[in-house]
Structure 1
Amino acid sequence: MARPKAPFLYGREPLVGSLVPSLTGLAFHERARAKREFGSDVPVVLLTGEHGTGRSALLDTLARGYRGRLPLAHVRAVVPGSPVATGLAEEVPEGSVPPQHAASPAEILERLVCALTPTYGTFRTLMPALFAVSGWHLGQTDERDEVCRRHARMLMVSGLARGTEREVARDWATQVETSLSEAAARNGDPDDPDGTQPVTAAVLRQLGARIPLDPARAWFRKRHTTPDGTIAEEDPLWLLSRRFHRGGDYLHAAEQALTAAFLEELAHSHGLVRRLNREPWPLILLDEAHTPAGSRFLELLLEQRALGQRKYDDRTVVVATRLGDLPREDAPHAVRRELVDLLPPGGVRRPGHAATLWKRTGHEPSEGLLVLPLTPLTRDDILSMLDRASSRLLHPHLASALHALTGGHPSASTVLADAAVETAKQNRSVVPRDLLDLRVEGGRAVTEVLLRDLLPDRRQRDRLVKLCLARDSKAAEALARDLGLVGPEQLPATAAAQYLVERKWQELPVADGPLVTSGLLRTLLVHEARRTLPPGDEPHSWRSVHAFLHLHHVQRAETEEADALRHNLAAGNPQQVVAMLADEFDAEEAEQSVEHWLLCLKRCAGAPVPPTDEAWRDQRVEIADGEHAARYARLDPSGRSINRLLHALWYLSEPYADAALDPDADRMCKAVGEELGFLARRHPTWYAALGQAARDWPTAARKRQELPVPASANSVEAG
């Protein structure tokens, strides 16, 4: 039967087409061998990236491409106590291979045992040890049932029990509870403060009736010596369990022993015959390695691989993913590479190239790590996504506009490109300004789909849709009170900001800056607010929210004028904003400096665009071109120039307004310089500053850079 065709991985081909084949010795998704370019020491590959960069999708693709061709284990590390860790169902994309979840390093090892036993047979050293450390507390029914389900999986895959997982777990629990009856009345043991040792004894008695435990006892006994150097006589599995449950350094030592047992037993199982036949080593795919379970497992694995006197060959391939960057202080000796480094110049793969990417030089654990950030997609990648639709219906520069909007973010780019292709299939054209208004197959808005993926917590997502309209955390908290946002937290905006930190969208909450620092995320949230907030002047509508924020900044301080004007513009009141800017410009004795005036103009230019309705229509380009001059006859020439300038800058703030691609944007850049030059000649004292802005701002707008404001305005902007 033909294998399913692998999905095209835009921008990720060097990883699946070069690095992983050089590690596994098998070409990706082809029944062909590849040259293994690493010797007896192989790196752990760690893929890093923010939400939506395709970390999990990449592992899922590798799992589908290599499943059935080599020993494979696909595990997702989860946070203990989370809905996933406690067994609640999770939505799995259609056609994907769901990873097995684990909430601790020991559980990860259990999952690896279950995945690799069909190839290598029962892990007679490691499996009894895993049973020994995974007992439960007497009387804890829920804990017992969960542990017995884990035991049942290992028993079934080893051929030691038959039936469904639920049946085997129930029978196993009954057998252990029966064996516990004699020990139930025993007094507490000072070396067993949590009361798990009677359960451990019963578990080992029942397991010992199915397989011999002597090989495991013999291996672990060698790791335990008394102070005088002799081997301890106490049952080593009991000692391992006691250490495991005491925590701290004892737990770390126990987990080190479990990891060492796994690697050594796996190496011995991959014996001489398998090596002579060039059978591939296992491929372990570990998702979410930033969680406590995932990071601890990698730490243990790297510690074992860094030992200088290993008696076994370990070539197991491990590809893991991490949310966010890996701080250098956490892995100071890790080798860091870019995806483009995986292929030589010209993109032609040459034998031996992969081995030059990483080489261990000492015995530091982090030296065994090869870190690869999943970089953004290129414009050419996005253009390839759009090739599935008729180019006649897609704007010629749609790929560039989409790339400017998303910054190459893989998830956002894919969803928007799919929506554009779907729209074109319906014989409708797609232009850059319509990108965020597209709908995916099934009719859902693209912003809704993306935000559900990037911000899974519905309560925090709904909060951020509204609170993202505020300028800073103080304004966001005031808005939260006005909107009546409630929850267990006393400060909803602070909780929302902390959620963004936990989701690795930003380093720390910014007290005096935007609540959402990611440009892409903020753009999506603002557009979703524009789409979902009530219309018109209803309570909590777009206009009423911005009217509240306008008043909030007016009341805070005079230095908040720039933000007050920005929210007034966002509420759909450009005439009022122009009038205030014109009044300051024409004042005989200016109360504010030219720097402050330019800052107000710059801040207004970034105002979010109101929803289109009977009260406001997007005519920014037409107004900037002077097509509606009759509406503003009451303004003097300076006021009309300020009106045109404001609307030109407002339009240029759109992510798709690229002067190199958009004729309107190119014209607006020229207009900015012309209007500022005109105003410079009409003001008696602001001539120099406005003249400098007339030279600098068009260039900055063309390059999509921050509009420069003189340094003397920095104190105002910081407020």
Structure 2
Amino acid sequence: MCEDLGFERLLSEEGFFARLLGRSPSGGGREPLYGADLPVVLLTGGPGMGKGRLLRAVRDSFATKVPVIHLDCASPVYADRAEPEPGARSAATEALVEVARRLSTWQGTGGSFAFPRFFTGLAMIATGVTGGTPDAVAAEVERYEELPQKQRFRGLGAGDFWRGVLRGAIRNLLTTLSGQTLDPYSASVSTALLDALFAGLAPRGRAELARIYGAYPGAAGQPEHGLRGLAADFQAGGDERELAESFLFRALRQDIEAAYASASGWLRRVGRPGLLLDHAEAPLGEQLLRAVLTDRRGGQRDRVVVVGTARRADGGAFLYGGLPPREVPAPAEFRPADGGPPEWSPRTGAEADRAPLAGGVLLLRMPFLTGDQLRRETERVQRPAQPEHGANRRRMDAAVARLSGGRPHTVIRLAAAAAAFRMPADANDREILDAPLRLTGDGVPERPVADVLLQELIMEQLPVRLPAEHHDQWLDLLTHLSVAHDKECADVLLRHHQSGHVHRLTAHHVARLLTDTGWPSCERHFIGDFGLRQLLVHRLYGLRPDGAAWYADHHLLRDHYTARVAAAGRTGGGPAADGGGRTGDGGRTAGTGPVTGTGSATHAGSATHTGSGADADAPDGAAFRSVVAHRMNHHLVSGGVDDVVRYLAATLPGRPEEWCAELLEIAQAPYPGGADTRRERARGLVAAEGPALRRTVDQLLHAVWLCEERTRPTGRETARTLAKLLDLLSIMEFDGAGQLGRTATEWSGLAENEQPLLRCTCTDQLGRRR
């Protein structure tokens, strides 16, 4: 796998990161972007968009030229290191210590970094160590003894204004107190530690500590007060601890800044240092981002390039101070495909220090792969194609493009699985999802690529705020929700599949969690990402033999909307246009089984209704113009094809424009597993009974269904079929027939160019990504 797949322009010699860091991957200097005031750059994109891959590529490309530290904010290692001494350590402090330790061993241009300011704060919070005795505090402080001074400058002479903060000085002093009787956590221990920190410091060293820690809230310019307050806040926990941790992060950045701003640093150091925060949506990452953004909003300057990841498209709710994002000036954003980075400057004015943090970020929208990039990746992993397999490879490329939507990680996995796969004739794209994929590693068995993707995109990237009691059922819930269209539809499924659970998620909760995780929304599909929805639909059909879980979910929704239609009829909302021709009976008559004509009976009813399909109007925000259309959609895909045909044939006369819109809504549905007879049925090769109008509507329904599913090519043949069938209808003897000629032209043009007939957010994005 090419690490920079899709990132070539960002990582190039003249690319965004070369200018942001002030140095190219080959070591050449570059004019830095944005001057002394820097935005925090957030890479935005959902699972599989390559945020972590890009951060690793930045580290690998630049880390030998400028100091670049990569931190995984979701790693449990920092909390694990803090656990033995919860009063003196935290996940945040351990992560900051990790950054300082790596920079203290930096061997590139300018040499290693020292962290005396940061070390001073760490030493003070060490007074919260278990026992609180001088020996215990000294042992804790000794963990950081390599940080205050560069390794090669141990024992600097009088010219170094940090002299006195040397190896062993604090331990030696505190050890002399160990024989005395001191109460654990008493002021005597803190006083002794402060004396040790300040003993022997040159005036400039004292002034620097005064500048840093004298600015701590409540210190009134006195560094000793600031350090005592820092330790007290850290030990208090909660918001007070977060304030102390944020201040330590400031001290660390000030140490880095000092290494560049000094006379020797100005001569010897080049570019800008970088801190790359992977999984920055995790609590630790959000805390670090909030700290640096708050400091910079308040006027604190440093040259550390902070790049984090953000699943949410808006960068994260914490950026907006509790206000709806639409009420806050939009952050600057950069789409690599649109050219160079935008202008950026910090927000100014009287209210700037209280403005939402969104003004301090630049959102870098992670790029989807272009068609050329996608083809190059599939060609890279394909075996050399024989001429007779050329058509199969083109078919596979198109299938990978549709199922991935250009999402880089999905492209990589699907392309690898498809390398030796032969697509059956006239197959649905989802056939690829059963292709075996062997991941790297000894003894790793092959697994269907669908299972790998679901594990990597869902189970390994659970929503940060998903309650623990729902972790085990998250994938199952999303699987059932793959057939939902709007929140009402989703709530019906959630109530059913969480029956008996004390803690339940609603459609509102799930929609918010999906947004937080970076999955897009769509006005017609509850699972708004086309590729993710296909993965989940595929899993749903395979959950139980013969697609039983699939049919059960669609039947559940069909029955719900049947009851809605019946209720509308009872309350005077017009005739119950349920496709059953029976007002108020809920459609409880014998119907057909699965679409293929085999399977258990379902209740459906005959379609002798002659009224409008919009009798039972859908509420605002629903995915369908009527409850009837919603019901018919689920009935279509769960065994009621003939009923839907009868309904459509009965409701066409007199309302061709409304009817066409309703047809598109009904037919925007996935096709179940098993043999697909739609193409033959659309072409009239499957015997159908009834008058000419009904037979033609039958064929048209199946042609439209093929176009709307978006998981197979349509092309010229289907376009011709659409045009022919609509033209036939346009010359029949019913009211408004002639209006269908224009529809024939429009729909056939869209189908010929592989465009959806009914547009929605996810199908529009699908077309643009390709």
Matched, 1:444 2:452: no
Give per-residue Cα distances to partners, 1:105-159, cap 9 Å, x unaligned.
Answer: 655433322221223354122112034346658799xxxx9x9999776356679
Query: For structure 1, which segment, 111-120 or 60-69, has the greater mean C-alpha deviation from structure 2 after superposition?
Result: 60-69
The alpha-carbon deviation at position 528 of structure 1 amounts to 1.8
Change (3 A) 1:570 1:208: farther
Distance 1:677 1:428 in 2: 29
Q: CA deviation at 1:367?
A: 6.6
SS at match of 2:105: helix
1:687 aligns with 2:737: yes
Residue number in structure 2 paired with 1:322 = 310
**How far 1:233 sits from its partner (Å)?**
8.0
State the partner residue of 1:529.
540
Does residue 620 (structure 1) correspond to residue 678 (structure 2)? The answer is yes
For residues 475 and 412 of structure 1, the distance between their equivalents in structure 2, rounded to whole angstroms, comes to 28
Say if 1:305 and 1:254 are closer, same or farther in 2 by CA, change over 3 A: same
State which of 590, 607, 624 in structure 1 corresponds to 2:669. 607
State the secondary structure of the residue aligned to 1:74. Answer: strand
Q: Counterpart in 2 of 1:518?
A: 529
* Matched letter for residue 13 of structure 1: E
SS at match of 1:563: helix
For 2:426 and 2:708, how far apart are their aligned partners in 1? 24
**Equivalent-residue separation in structure 1 for 2:474 and 2:98 (angstroms):** 33
**AA of the residue aligned to 1:378:** T
Q: Partners in 2 of 1:693 and 1:429 — Cα distance? A: 26
Give the distance between the partners of 2:139 and 2:499, measured in 1 at CA: 41
Give the structure 1 partner of residue 456 of structure 2.
Answer: 453
- Inter-partner Cα distance in structure 2 for 1:227 and 1:284: 26
Matched-pair contact (CA < 8 Å) for 1:376–1:408: yes
1: CA distance, partners of 2:138 / 2:493: 50
On the 8 A contact 1:582/1:639 being kept in 2, the answer is yes
Is 1:499 the counterpart of 2:487 in the alignment? no
Residue 308 of structure 2 aligns to a residue whose secondary structure is strand
C-alpha spacing 1:87/1:677, structure 2 compared with 1 (3 Å): farther
Gaps spanning 5+ residues in structure 1: where? 1-5, 89-101, 162-170, 185-197, 344-353, 660-664, 710-719
2:8 aligned with 1:13: yes
Q: Is the 8 A contact 2:428 2:711 kept in 1?
A: no
Change in Cα spacing, 1:250 to 1:239, as seen in structure 2 (3 Å) is same
Q: Which residue of 1 aligns with 2:267?
A: 276
Equivalence for 2:228: 238
Find out whether 1:266 has 2:256 as its counterpart.
yes
Q: 2:57 aligns with which of 45, 48, 61?
A: 61
Are residue 565 (structure 1) and residue 632 (structure 2) matched? Answer: yes
Does the alignment pair 1:473 with 2:487? Answer: yes
2:723 aligned to 650, 665, 673, which one? 673
Partner of 1:35: 30
C-alpha distance in structure 2 between counterparts of 1:491 and 1:304, whole Å: 37
SS of residue paired to 1:648: helix
Cα distance change of structure 1 residues 110 and 179 upon mapping to structure 2, 3 Å threshold: farther
In the alignment, is the contact (CA less than 8 A) between 1:259 and 1:304 conserved in 2? no
1:645 corresponds to = 700
What is the match of residue 563 of structure 2?
555
- Aligned residue identity for 2:400: L
SS in 1 for 2:681: helix
Aligned partner of residue 4 in structure 2, secondary structure:
coil
How has the CA–CA distance of structure 1 residues 429 and 635 changed in structure 2, closer, same or farther, with 3 Å as cutoff? closer
Q: Contact between 1:648 and 1:672, CA under 8 Å: does it hold in 2? A: yes
Aligned to 1:575: 642
1:419 is aligned, of 414, 417, 420, to: 417
- Measured against aligned partners, the alpha-carbon deviations of 1:358-392 in whole angstroms (never above 9, x if no partner) come to 56696868776443211211101101101222344
2:68 counterpart of 1:72: yes
Kindly indicate whether the alpha-carbon contact (under 8 Å) linking 2:44 and 2:310 is maintained by their aligned counterparts in 1: yes
In the alignment, does 2:402 pair up with 1:404? yes
In 1: Cα distance, 2:478 partner to 2:265 partner: 55
Match of residue 381 from structure 1: 373
**Using the alignment, how far apart are the partners of 2:370 and 2:419 within structure 1?**
18
Work out whether 1:635 is the aligned partner of 2:633: no
Q: Report if aligned partners of 1:547, 1:568 keep a CA contact under 8 Å in 2.
A: yes
Match of 1:707 in 2: 758
1:74-113 correspondence to structure 2 within 5 Å: 74-78=70-74, 86-87=79-80, 106-113=93-100
* 1:650 CA drift (Å): 1.1
**Offset at 1:446?**
2.4
Q: Match of 1:287?
A: 278
What's the RMSD between the two structures over aligned residues? 4.7
Count of matched residue positions in the alignment of Structure 1 and Structure 2: 620
Once the two structures are TM-superposed, the CA of residue 59 in structure 1 deviates from its matched residue by 0.9
What is the rounded CA distance, in whole Å, between the counterparts of 1:224 and 1:700 in structure 2?
68
Q: Distance in 1 between matches of 2:546 and 2:223?
A: 81
Shift in Å at residue 476 of structure 1? 3.5
Aligned to 2:579: none
Within 2, Cα distance between the matches of 1:528 and 1:11?
29
Q: Residue 463 of structure 1: which of 456, 469, 477 is its match? A: 477
Question: Contact between 1:21 and 1:35, CA under 8 Å: does it hold in 2?
Answer: yes
